[in-house]
Amino acid sequence: MAKDLVYLLKKAAKKLEEFDFGAATKLYSEALEVQPGNIAASMGLAMVYNRTEKPLDALKILGKIWEAVSAPKNKATPAAMATVLAQVGLAQQQLGKWADALQSYRKAHALTPSDEVAGKIKQLQSLVEMPEPIQQLIQQAMQQHRAGKLDMAVKLYQAALQLNQDHPDALHGLGMVMREKKESNSAMALVQQAIVLEPERADFYNDLGMIFQDRGELEKAINFHKRALRLQVTFAPAYINLGVAYKRLGQLDDAINAYQEALKLQPDMPETHNNLGNLLRLKGDTDGAREALSRALALRPNYLAARQNLEAVEQLLSGTQNNLGSEEPLATSVPKPATRKTKGSKKGSDTTCSVESKTAPVKPGKAK
């Protein structure tokens, strides 16, 4: 059993280094079946969750790990404890709990000094201890955008830009609101300005690609989604949007490959399983379609679109064709109204996927 556990942990760690988060998740989960509560497997799983933007799941695991490693009887090394605290800080930072994240990073740095953690402390100090009015305005604008109050969001972003006309997050945020208001020329100009000011932001390139998709300029959209991936190879939303663009161009094999890459990074996205299943159905792979759609329903039992698509597959298998399909590449994590759905057709309908811009100056191009 010990040999199996060591093998699983080594293989999982390798997959984590290769950014194959789906395989890493499976292997760490298998290790925990061999030895429930194993700290190395639990820690690896928490790191996967942090890297796939599931901070709440990461924190649940990290809380249990911290209880174990901080117990006097376990005599954990300072380095091990610092690693746990740094991951806690990363999860808290993703949740926008900057004061908590700063405290966790400071504790980690006190146990084992690290240049990386010191950098995160420096980044968060100004936001937590000396918050600038512009950061407060951007946060308020993002909240209004989430609530669908677009006009108020515009006013708040414009107020932020009066304080600093070259603030990339304010320009980008305003651009995404203008996109939702169907003002694509303004949206494009604003996001392009943000890219000029901060050219290493994968989310900026991804969102510019979304604007080109809105305009029907799919080849240009594909170029920008690929540029996002060159900056951050683990940026799953760009793979989602590549799938959308390729499908609209009729390049179904490329679309399927893009969705499969997204699922390697974030294997528990029901929307992507649904889309992949719908594409496989269009390709005539009914067994693959059934498997993908069943997985979507396992992840979200009340997922109506996936259920309808699975029914369509069953009708195909029984000889009763149904050419309609429903697709949602990914529920956007930008303020929720920022999605766009095209009219239904026999190929299904599509939305594009964005990621909420963080006002904390942490660039997505950096590995977490």
Residues 147-171 have a mean pLDDT of 94
| Whether pLDDT at 219 is above 60 | yes
| Whether pLDDT at 340 is above 60 | no
| Whether pLDDT at 34 is above 90 | yes
Domain 218-368 classification at class level: mainly alpha
Alpha-carbon torsion (115, 205, 336, 272), positive or negative? negative
| Whether pLDDT at 249 is above 80 | yes
Residues 343-354 have a mean pLDDT of 48
Angle 205-227-87 (CA atoms, 0-180°, nearest 5)?
Answer: 75
- Which pLDDT score, from 0 to 100, does residue 339 have? 36
Beta carbons of 278 and 247 less than 8 angstroms apart:
no
| Whether pLDDT at 165 is above 80 | yes
- Which pLDDT score, from 0 to 100, does residue 355 have? 56
Q: Residues near 354 by Cβ (< 8 Å), separated by ≥ 6? A: 176, 203, 206, 207, 210, 237, 332, 333, 334, 338
Give the tens place of pLDDT for each residue, 74-111: 778 999 999 999 999 999 988 878 889 999 999 999 99
Q: What does R_g of the chain's alpha carbons equal in angstroms?
A: 22
Alpha-carbon torsion (53, 58, 60, 66), positive or negative? negative
- Which pLDDT score, from 0 to 100, does residue 354 have? 64
Beta carbons of 171 and 190 less than 8 angstroms apart:
yes
CA gap 153, 168 in Å, rounded? 16
Q: Could you identify the residue written with the tokens 């594409």?
A: 279
Q: Using 50, 70 and 90 to split pLDDT, how confident is the model at 342?
A: very low
Domain 2-129 classification at class level: mainly alpha
More confident residue, 344 or 66: 66
- Which pLDDT score, from 0 to 100, does residue 361 have? 32
* Alpha-carbon separation of residue 310 from 170, 239, 315 (angstroms): 42, 23, 9
What is the value of pTM for the model shown?
0.67
Residues 197-225 have a mean pLDDT of 96
Where do the CATH 1.25.40.10 domains begin and end in the chain? 2-129, 132-199, 218-368
The pLDDT mean for the chain works out to: 85
* Alpha-carbon separation of residue 51 from 1, 56, 89 (angstroms): 29, 12, 13
Burial class (CB in 10 A: 0-12, 13-18, 19+), 203: buried
- Which pLDDT score, from 0 to 100, does residue 116 have? 87
Give the tens place of pLDDT for each residue, 296-337: 999 888 899 899 999 989 888 887 555 545 555 432 334 443
Give the tens place of pLDDT for each residue, 264-291: 998 888 889 998 998 999 898 999 999 9
Domain 132-199 classification at class level: mainly alpha
Residues 135-154 have a mean pLDDT of 91
| Whether pLDDT at 247 is above 80 | yes
